[in-house]
Amino acid sequence: MATKLIAEAFGTLLLVFGGVGTALIASAFPYDDAANPLGVGFVGVALAFGLTVVVGAYAWGPVSGGHFNPAITLGLAASGRFPWKDTIGYIIAQLIGGVVATTLIVLIGVFGPDGWLSSAQDGGFASNGFDALSPGGFGLGAAIVAEILLTAIFVLIILGVTHPTRGNALLAPLAIGLTLTLIHLISIPIDNTSVNPARSLAAAIYGGPEPLAQLWVFIVFPIVGGLIAGWVHRALLEKTPAPPAEETARVEP
């Protein structure tokens, strides 16, 4: 179990460092140019989140299952694919990995251009948010619907592509990463895309009081979406009894 928890922490660290780091460092580069001709923009950030899942899944999926997300862990438990007794340890490891990732971004920012770190923090540190904190000005209702719906879709796809008999273990990480990319392409303008409480917490702790005040939305509703997906999959799509949890807990090969 210790090895699995370390793998979960490393995988979440990679996911948050790659995704949030891209959003803060590369999305609007150069920083003093309004046109940002070299910045990767929303598409680059979406790809960064998806790519980190792909490489993390191939690297550490065989060890821990490659959840890297509390909503996925709870969704898998609700579906019968993961033991409930192990969820707390996984979630703690994921939260630690995410916080370490944003702390490393802060450390890089300390040695960055003058004012870069304070500007990133004043801008919310790529935190999730609604109303004034939404990139597109979307309200609380939009954030709630998006987080429940998109997290549920994400977990349903994970459960489908990792099915022990119908799934394809070699291609599952790629399908999961592309799904996360699509989710970000849809929802970055809505609330900066969470679908992952560990990612949201990791950014909000450096984003200031306003992102922290809205953090509850991006903890509660991704989890709601993950649980719904797990229960729906188990009730409607899992036509055979779930194999033992130890054999099916993983999201990747």
Q: What is the pLDDT of residues 75-84, one digit of tens each?
A: 999 999 999 9
Flag whether 252 is in a domain: no
pLDDT digits (tens, 9 = 90+) for 122-164: 999 999 999 999 999 999 999 999 999 999 999 999 999 998 8
pLDDT band of residue 107 (cuts 50, 70, 90) is very high
Flag whether 37 is in a domain: yes
pLDDT band of residue 239 (cuts 50, 70, 90) is low
The two tokens of residue 123 are: 């801008």
Query: Mean pLDDT of all residues in the chain?
Result: 92
Q: Which residues, in sequence order, are CB contacts of 57 under 8 Å at separation 6+? A: 11, 66, 172, 173, 176, 177, 251, 252
Residue 113 exposed, middle or buried by CB count within 10 Å (0-12, 13-18, 19+): exposed
pLDDT at 91: 98
Task: Check residues 100 and 41 and name the one with the higher pLDDT.
Answer: 100
Query: Cβ(12)–Cβ(97) under 8 Å?
Result: yes
pLDDT at 248: 45
Flag whether 222 is in a domain: yes
| CATH code of 9's domain | 1.20.1080.10
Flag whether 249 is in a domain: no
Flag whether 248 is in a domain: no
pLDDT digits (tens, 9 = 90+) for 170-200: 899 999 999 999 999 999 999 999 999 999 9
H/E element holding 154?
helix 140-161
> Has this prediction a pTM greater than 0.75?
yes
pLDDT at 246: 53
pLDDT at 138: 98
Q: Name the residue range of residue 21's domain.
A: 1-237
Flag whether 116 is in a domain: yes
Flag whether 253 is in a domain: no
Number of domains in the chain: 1
Flag whether 247 is in a domain: no
Query: Cβ(10)–Cβ(60) under 8 Å?
Result: yes
